[in-house]
Amino acid sequence: MAKKEHISETPATQFLRKHGVAFSEHPYDYEEHGGTAVSSRELGVSEHAVVKTLVMQDEAARPLIVLMHGDCKVSTKNLARAIPCKSVEPCKPEVAQRHSGYLVGGTSPFGIRKAMPVYVEEGILALPKIYINGGRRGFLVGIDPKVLVDVLGARAVQCALAE
């Protein structure tokens, strides 16, 4: 008998299972350019608890991941100061996809194609539960934010700006 394939299997969920991370699955109807406002509305959770995975690069075009509250944006100046480097900017979508292996809008920090340093906005670690992309557009996973540090080795930074 064929093994029943899990409905939401992605490189991210495979990574989480392999590392023994407990997570809940939250599929929703993806809207192009809807962002975290759509996912938080669809899931009925605070946009502050929905975490965006942003692929950025430093002045030498070295990629990095920044995890940010859905209702905030990244101060690239404060991030550059914190990590320390001269400057940080978002990667172009096709470059981000090449580094992460995920389509923009479906980028997860778990199961990425290329190892990159991960930085997490400090306030995210204080939340009881976060909702972060599960490796596909329209699919979030709910996890304990401590997983970001314990499993990904994410470093806490302060670079949030209110949107």
Two tokens, residue 10? 């992605």
Dist. CA 74–CA 29, nearest whole Å: 26
The SS3 of residue 76 is helix
Tally of domains within the chain: 1
Whether 8 is covered by a domain: the verdict is no
Whether 3 is covered by a domain: the verdict is no
Dist. CA 72–CA 52, nearest whole Å: 9
pLDDT of residue 162: 87
Whether 33 is covered by a domain: the verdict is yes
CATH at 23: 3.90.960.10
* pLDDT tier, 1 (very low <50, low <70, confident <90, very high otherwise): very low
- Using the predicted structure, report yes or no on whether residue 6 has a pLDDT greater than 60: no
- Residue 24: partners with Cβ closer than 8 Å, 6 or more residues away: 141, 142, 143
- Using the predicted structure, report yes or no on whether residue 27 has a pLDDT greater than 90: yes
Residue 92 is part of which domain span?
15-161
Whether 2 is covered by a domain: the verdict is no
